[in-house]
Structure 1
Amino acid sequence: MNKEKIFSEIAVITMEDILNNTATGIYFVTPTRQILYWNKGAEEITGFSEGEIIGKKCFETPLRHLDDKGTNLCEGRCPLVEAIEKREKVEKKVWVHTKEGKLKHIVVKTVPMYDKSGNVVGAVETFDDISLLDKLEKVNKKLKELSVRDPLTNLYNKREMYFHLKRAIAKSSRGTKMVVIFIDLNKFKKINDICGHLEGDRIIKEFSEKIKRAFREEDMLFRPQTSRFGGDEFVVVLEVGEFVDEKMLTNRIEEIVKGFSAKSCIGEINMAVGITYVKPTDDIEKILKRVDSAMYKSKESGKVEFIK
């Protein structure tokens, strides 16, 4: 096919053909927001035909654009009004009512239109359905959450806790007092061996809930990050205030874990707790070695143990 023939065939395609063969919704309005044009894409997204929309002012239609707070933008400064008044492009994510009575999430892009003298003679708005993108974002957020959470307890997993330990070292080097707590359930292996893994999972979930409640984000003494570090091991990273000394912290942790126990088929299960400070010269291995030693010392003493 030669060039002349290609151009001759393109020439018979009108602008309206182009606008009506796009999935994007497009409409034109006058400065008073009277709708002059409504394409097929707009009809497919909203369900309203051009006969139901053209000639009406946009705020008189049942479309009713809403923001995330539920504010009816058509009654105030909608994107069209902003584009005409500011004489610039306006882009926003809004909700629109469809003919079925449902709300659909769309992204609108509004541009003012000018005559040859530079006067604003209206505006054109394009809009696309982003409902599928919303769903994909939710799925992506869920997958990201699953990648950093332990599926049984919904606490951070070991990999994510390594990230928080690295941050704790960085904060410590900037003068923030950081503490790591290592918690291990006593006799847990016997539960799995004698009572079975379902009973073991129940005990783990029970303790994780107690740990979550004990180390709350709202606590004025410290700001915690909590993880299930292994089978029956939990690690908590705390940012504590400058006024908190070793004795105060140990007493507070003693107070928190006092009475932490659960009944099992082999009797009462409690936990050993070790604590250490994070030092600016630390690496993760050094921190875990110290706090692990403190935890084993706790198993022998039956008390919360602190190793600097």
Structure 2
Amino acid sequence: MLKFDETTYTRIIDSLHDGLYFVAVDRTITYWNKAAERITGYAAEEVVGRSCADNILCHVDREGCTLCLGRCPLADTIEDCVEREAEVFLHHKRGQRIPVLVRVCPLRDAQGKVIGGIEMFTDLTSIEANNQRIKELERLALLDGLTQLANRVYLEREINARLHEYDRFALPFGILFMDLDHFKRFNDSYGHDVGDTVLQAVAQTLMANSRPFDLYGRWGGEEFVGVIRTVTAADLEQLAERMRLLVQQNFLVHGSEKLQVTMSVGGTSVCPGDTLESIIKRADKLLYTSKQGGRNRVTLG
């Protein structure tokens, strides 16, 4: 069995990433590690020998209740010997509040008598920031940057999920493939900034008028796709016509002009044996039929 001297133990404790401190039974702080200094801003010489009850760290809970002056987890653990864990907010020396996860346990002597307590605390600031960054990266990976609709990756994932659902439970769904008419000509005439504003307006129209369980996204360029759940062919046509009309009725004031665009739509319902490629290809061909038929119309099949 390895045996360490006091200096080695101190070095090990000071190398911990988490803050750690010991208190006596009366909650006088007897040890304060390097991570505790880093997380709180208080050097060991500023706190060792003082009592937690001096409210040095000013722990508060999520309701804003002060813990250090009353029944804090550490004091309770010293009294009943029950280990505890809690999320609290400590006061940093510079004034800000730091969210920390505290874990407390009783400190015993060789005979098992409680002679104080140990508290370890983890700074949750970086953890929360990392979680937020991960969520943001996930969001960016699945959303179109311009329109904030689902992007192609997200749409393909959704369609595959609906195909799997259809294969298992025979739940129907439909696809709407939508394309703005003569949009290149529009961009050439008014510029890409105006074109981007129009794309955003169309996206907002689709999103604002969709059912909560349907998904609309940007397939690319001026193309949009709707994944319409639990829908009959008649309902799919009605939804497609409504979206087409709503886009047609949109307008953007540009100088003295009122700019409008129209949208052609191809719609199809899932069929046995469909794959992502087959259902998209079918909807795309129906969209092409709408374009060939004069644009600003819906073709289903």
TM-score (structure 1 length as normaliser): 0.77
SS of the residue aligned with 1:260?
A: helix
1:248 aligns with 2:235: yes
216 and 66 in structure 1: CA distance in 2 versus 1, 3 angstrom threshold? farther
SS of the residue aligned with 2:31?
A: strand
SS of the residue aligned with 1:236?
A: strand
Contact 2:177 2:223 in 1 (8 A): yes
The equivalent position to 2:221 in structure 1, one of 224, 231, 236, is: 231
- Matches of 1:285 and 1:67, distance apart in 2: 53
190 and 266 in structure 1: CA distance in 2 versus 1, 3 angstrom threshold? farther
- Matches of 2:17 and 2:289, distance apart in 1: 68
Cα deviations by residue, 1:242-279 (Å, 9 ceiling, x for unpaired): xx533234224423442313358896311112222234
Amino acid at match of 1:285: E
Contact 1:169 1:279 in 2 (8 A): no
Contact 2:23 2:31 in 1 (8 A): yes
12 and 36 in structure 1: CA distance in 2 versus 1, 3 angstrom threshold? closer
- Matches of 1:304 and 1:119, distance apart in 2: 81
1:228 positional shift: 0.6
- Matches of 1:112 and 1:160, distance apart in 2: 50
SS of the residue aligned with 2:146?
A: coil
1:205 positional shift: 1.5
Structure 1 unmatched ranges of 5 or more: 1-6, 218-222
The equivalent position to 1:197 in structure 2, one of 187, 192, 198, is: 192
1:138 aligns with 2:132: yes
Identity of aligned residues (%): 32
Amino acid at match of 1:165: I
267 and 53 in structure 1: CA distance in 2 versus 1, 3 angstrom threshold? closer
- Matches of 2:267 and 2:79, distance apart in 1: 62
The equivalent position to 1:208 in structure 2, one of 203, 207, 217, is: 203
1:210 positional shift: 1.4
Cross-structure match for 1:290: 282
- Matches of 1:255 and 1:45, distance apart in 2: 57
The more displaced of 36-45 and 159-168 is: 36-45
- Matches of 1:84 and 1:280, distance apart in 2: 66
SS of the residue aligned with 2:203?
A: helix
The equivalent position to 1:270 in structure 2, one of 262, 265, 283, is: 262
Amino acid at match of 2:101: V
- Matches of 2:174 and 2:186, distance apart in 1: 30
Cross-structure match for 1:154: 148
163 and 49 in structure 1: CA distance in 2 versus 1, 3 angstrom threshold? same
RMSD: 3.4
Structure 2 unmatched ranges of 5 or more: none
1:45 positional shift: 2.1
1:136 positional shift: 3.2
The more displaced of 22-31 and 101-110 is: 22-31
Cα deviations by residue, 1:157-201 (Å, 9 ceiling, x for unpaired): 112211111111012222333222211111112113333322322
Cross-structure match for 1:188: 183
- Matches of 1:45 and 1:120, distance apart in 2: 27
How many residues are aligned here?
291
Contact 1:53 1:61 in 2 (8 A): no
Cross-structure match for 2:103: 109
Cross-structure match for 2:174: 179
Q: 5 Å matches for 1:34-113?
A: 34-50=28-44, 53-54=47-48, 58-67=52-61, 70=64, 72=66, 74=68, 78-80=72-74, 87=81, 89-113=83-107
TM-score (structure 2 length as normaliser): 0.79
- Matches of 1:81 and 1:177, distance apart in 2: 60
